[in-house]
Amino acid sequence: TTRTPQFLGLDKSADLFPESSSSSDVIVGVLDTGIWPESKSFDDTGMGPIPATWKGECETGTNFTTANCNRKLIGARFFSKGYEAMLGPIDESKESKSPRDDDGHGTHTATTASGSVVPGASLFGFAPGTARGMATRSRVAAYKVCWLGGCFSSDILAAIEQAIIDNVNVLSLSLGGGMSDYYRDSVAIGSFAAMEKGILISCSAGNAGPSSYSLSNVAPWITTVGAGTLDRDFPAEVIIGNGKNYSGVSLYRGHALPDTPLPFIYAGNASNSSSGNLCMMGTLTPEKVAGKIVLCDRGVSARVQKGVVVKSAGGLGMVLANTPANGEELVADAHLLPATAVGEKEGDAIKKYLFSDPNPTVKIVFQGTKVGIQPSPVVAAFSSRGPNSITPQILKPDLIAPGVNILAGWSKNVGPTGLASDNRRVDFNIISGTSMSCPHVSGLAALIKSAHPDWSPAAVRSALMTTAYTAYKNGLSLKDSATGKQSTPFDHGAGHVDPISAVNPGLVYDLTVDDYLSFLCALNYSAVQITTLARRKFQCEPSKKYNVNDLNYPSFAVLFQTTGGANIVKHTRVLTNVGPASVYNSSVTSDSSLVKISVEPQVLSFRENEKKSYTVTFTSTSGATTQSVNSFARLEWLDGKNVVGSPISISW
Amino acid sequence: SLAEKKTYIVHVAKSEMPESFNHHTLWYESSLNSVSDSAQLIYTYDNAIHGFATRLTPEEASSLESQTGILAVLPEMKYELH
């Protein structure tokens, strides 16, 4: 990536992450669409021998041999038996039966997490700079589990199985599916086994936002990552015939439009189809579109596909307008014709002009790359949101990281739009999704792991979460792109990742396998369900009182029953001091008077490596309410140097 | 019957493997053969889960699930890139 290292402060962190052998001993496994090994991001110059712990290998298949691997890309495997059992033999004329990435997604995620430093990177001159992954000295192992027809659970499980055997340290999964209970979800089950082996599993939260309860990958042993914007944009202004300007974004680079205003038409008025406004394939009337710029509404079909539809109907360019589903969030695309994307409000204003002017005209002015955009980060509208639909007492997502307009490596088997008709080939592509934010956290986790090799996955996650920030430098709270208002822990979890602070978090909330087993007991899982999930006979003790609220999680999700429930809820936590001896004071801030929050003890004095517990008591002062209400608060432990923060959601 | 076959992930309690088997793969094959003439192991797992993946009819899956040591027979799920 060419901007996130600066955005995250990694460019000033050389002394925090020395180029020691421990940083190059960390191996990031990426389950995805495979890998494009020729990417410069996998240059192994200066990398030492492959870690002795590594048991993986590079498998041979279509256009891929062991020679495609090196000291950077140390593993590449593919898992297609489940896919082929379901859909028949792979057509090798259409996709590579090998670790080779024909899609681009897997190369993008792997290079985001671990890519080497590549000067002079850009997409058609957009987002220029030196590209690098988050953990430049870590090693990459690619596990191809996603194919043209999708990613199947039997293949995903086989890849996790192999990654455990191979000895990866971090697993990055930018995929998800459904909202099954943990004992029915292969990613959750496989991740449990990986966690047991000390592997940190980072998963994307999903792109089903901004709807509530839209998260995937919510098991507490998984780090669930939502997406935020960077301080970078790709403006492409729309100037309509009445002289008014509207801001849009675009990654179009190609033949320029004439400098004079061009005829402008709404797609809905250039079609005989009731859904003509969406610029679906075959719906535009060429006689009405030819020689004009066409305004299409976003939705149903791919954004770049709409551009192809306009182009094939003879249109000169496209303005793509958001609908209420997307609000004002702008996602830039490398369109095949001059095109720009505008927000819902801008789109409505432009449509008003289109419907009122008998001879509407428009100009699109492409302005390249701009950095320093504020406020940033803003929670991406598409980023999936809490509450957690499986266990509402566990607050998810865990945190957010950059996931909008991210430049990273790409496959040379596909163009930047992913369309079959896109014959362009690029070294780097700019795309958006929680798929992109997840590998940021995977790479950052690898960095933390290299600085603290003995830390558990839970300790690494805790460090990332408790040091995440929830306010801009001017003190204002993080915003949500979907609403334009302040975001909440259901949107951003603990906040935006801050890797420099995460290296020295002061205190961590650690978790062991036994803690997770107690959590399963607290969920009243049957013996069969626990054995299915945890691969062992585990008997919940009938005399022991298990409580989901006591899972030593770095965040709090408090549930009050709307009727008949107690109006006091207690959560107990254990903090481990990973810094020097120190005294920490607690501080609680809350946006609601409906609940009283008290911490006992209020002060914790730690020796080195000492553990101390505390209890937070939440007292609902409103009595039982028949309505579902959410409020939010924050608990911090401060010693004058470190701030160990935890988000709190409170629901009635 | 072949057309209605689906992929299932079969979770087993490895501790309940009969002593007559000296390797879990043999147990899995035997269990499969007892419910299906044609089913084959697609994958066997020992680290991510204890169990295997196979193609079965719904009736075969149901029959397998009732066997001793079989914890769950879960249908294949499709995941999507984010």
Q: What is the enclosing helix (H) or strand (E) of B72?
A: strand B70-75
pLDDT bucket at A19, cuts 50 / 70 / 90? low
Give yes or no for residue A515 having a pLDDT over 80. yes
Mean pLDDT of chain A: 95
Cα Rg, chain A, nearest whole Å: 25
**β-strands B6-12, B51-56: how paired?**
antiparallel
CA distance A319 to chain B (A): 25
Q: Please state, in angstroms and rounded to a whole number, the distance separating the CA atoms of residues B22 and A547.
A: 40
Look at residue A512 and give its three-state secondary structure: coil
Mean pLDDT of A246-265: 95
Cis link prior to A99 (omega < 30° from 0)? Answer: no
Residue from A24, A25, A103, A105 carrying the catalytic annotation = A105
Q: Given this model, what pLDDT does residue A22 score?
A: 72
Give yes or no for residue B77 having a pLDDT over 70. yes
Contact A528 B72 (CB under 8 A): yes
Q: Given this model, what pLDDT does residue A551 score?
A: 98
Q: Is A105 a catalytic residue?
A: yes
Contact A532 B43 (CB under 8 A): no
Residue A578, token pair as written in the block: 């990973």
8 A C-beta contact, residue B46 and residue B25: no
- A388-397, A554-563, A612-621: which has the minimum mean pLDDT? A554-563
Q: What is the enclosing helix (H) or strand (E) of A517?
A: helix A513-522
Q: Given this model, what pLDDT does residue A573 score?
A: 98
Percent of chain A predicted with pLDDT > 90? 92
**pLDDT tens, residue by residue, A289-299:** 999 999 999 99
> Which residue of A32, A143, A152 is the best one to mutate when testing the B interface, meaning the one whose CB has the most B CBs within 10 A?
A152
Backbone angles phi, psi at A32, to 5 degrees: -165, -145
Mean pLDDT of chain B: 94
pLDDT bucket at A625, cuts 50 / 70 / 90? low
Q: Given this model, what pLDDT does residue A532 score?
A: 97
Residue A45, token pair as written in the block: 């110059």
- Nearest-CB residue to B78 (from A151, A434, A531): A151
Q: Given this model, what pLDDT does residue A563 score?
A: 64
Kindly identify which residue of chain A lies nearest to residue B52, measuring between CA atoms: A154
Mean pLDDT of A9-31: 81
Give yes or no for residue A627 having a pLDDT over 70. no
Is the ipTM value over 0.90, yes or no?
A: yes
Q: Given this model, what pLDDT does residue A562 score?
A: 67
**pLDDT tens, residue by residue, A130-186:** 999 999 999 999 999 999 999 999 999 999 999 999 999 999 999 999 789 999 999
Between positions 29 and 88 of A, the ones with CB within 8 A of B are 32-33, 81-82, 85-86
Q: Please state, in angstroms and rounded to a whole number, the distance separating the CA atoms of residues A327 and A478.
A: 17
> Which residue of A440, A532, A536 is the best one to mutate when testing the B interface, meaning the one whose CB has the most B CBs within 10 A?
A532
Q: Given this model, what pLDDT does residue B48 score?
A: 98
Q: Given this model, what pLDDT does residue A178 score?
A: 76
The amino acid sitting at A261 is P
Residue from A25, A32, A427, A639 carrying the catalytic annotation = A32
Q: How many CB pairs under 8 A join A and B?
A: 120
8 A C-beta contact, residue A238 and residue A346: yes
Between positions 193 and 222 of A, the ones with CB within 8 A of B are 193-194, 204-207
Q: Please state, in angstroms and rounded to a whole number, the distance separating the CA atoms of residues A247 and A207.
A: 24
Q: Given this model, what pLDDT does residue A624 score?
A: 55
Give yes or no for residue A387 having a pLDDT over 80. yes
**Alpha-carbon distances, residue A84 vs A61, A174, A409, A565, A597 (angstroms):** 15, 22, 28, 51, 55
Q: Please state, in angstroms and rounded to a whole number, the distance separating the CA atoms of residues A590 and A631.
A: 8
CA distance B64 to chain A (A): 15
Q: Given this model, what pLDDT does residue A626 score?
A: 58
Mean pLDDT of A100-115: 98
Give yes or no for residue A188 having a pLDDT over 90. yes
Residue A251, token pair as written in the block: 């990654």
Contact B14 A183 (CB under 8 A): no
Q: Given this model, what pLDDT does residue B1 score?
A: 45
8 A C-beta contact, residue A132 and residue A115: yes
Contact B76 A86 (CB under 8 A): yes
**pLDDT tens, residue by residue, A67-88:** 999 999 999 999 999 999 999 9
CB of A254 within 8 Å of any CB in chain B?
no
Q: Is A108 a catalytic residue?
A: no
Q: Given this model, what pLDDT does residue A324 score?
A: 87
Residue from A435, A456, A487, A651 carrying the catalytic annotation = A435
Q: Mark residue A282 as left, alpha or beta (left: phi above 0; alpha: psi -120 to 50; beta: remaining).
A: left
Give yes or no for residue B2 having a pLDDT over 60. no
Look at residue A268 and give its three-state secondary structure: helix
pLDDT bucket at A621, cuts 50 / 70 / 90? confident
CA distance A284 to chain B (A): 30
CA nearest neighbour of A636 among A609, A610, A620, A616: A616
Mean pLDDT of A491-502: 98
- Nearest-CB residue to A153 (from B9, B11, B71): B9
Residues of B in contact with A33 (CB under 8 A): 81
Q: Is A91 a catalytic residue?
A: no
**pLDDT tens, residue by residue, A333-378:** 999 999 999 999 999 999 999 999 999 999 999 999 999 999 999 9
Q: Given this model, what pLDDT does residue A13 score?
A: 73
Residues of A in contact with B69 (CB under 8 A): none
Contact A158 B7 (CB under 8 A): no
Q: DSSP letters along A329-384, please?
A: -------SSSEEEE-HHHHHHHHHHHHH-SS-EEEEEE---EE--SS--EE-TTS-
CA nearest neighbour of A90 among A148, A130, A135, A38: A148
Backbone angles phi, psi at A472, to 5 degrees: -75, 170
Q: Please state, in angstroms and rounded to a whole number, the distance separating the CA atoms of residues A575 and A247.
A: 48
Give yes or no for residue B41 having a pLDDT over 70. yes
Look at residue A317 and give its three-state secondary structure: strand
Contact A154 B71 (CB under 8 A): no
More confident residue, A352 or A482: A352
Between positions 406 and 435 of A, the ones with CB within 8 A of B are 433-435
CA distance A103 to chain B (A): 11
**pLDDT tens, residue by residue, A23-33:** 778 999 999 99
Question: What are the start-end ranges of the E strands in A269-311?
Answer: 293-297
Q: Given this model, what pLDDT does residue A20 score?
A: 66
pLDDT bucket at A315, cuts 50 / 70 / 90? very high
- Nearest-CB residue to A434 (from B14, B50, B82): B82
Between positions 48 and 67 of B, the ones with CB within 8 A of A are 48-50, 53, 55
- Nearest-CB residue to A157 (from B9, B14, B82): B9
Q: Please state, in angstroms and rounded to a whole number, the distance separating the CA atoms of residues A604 and A586.
A: 8
Q: Please state, in angstroms and rounded to a whole number, the distance separating the CA atoms of residues A227 and A207.
A: 9
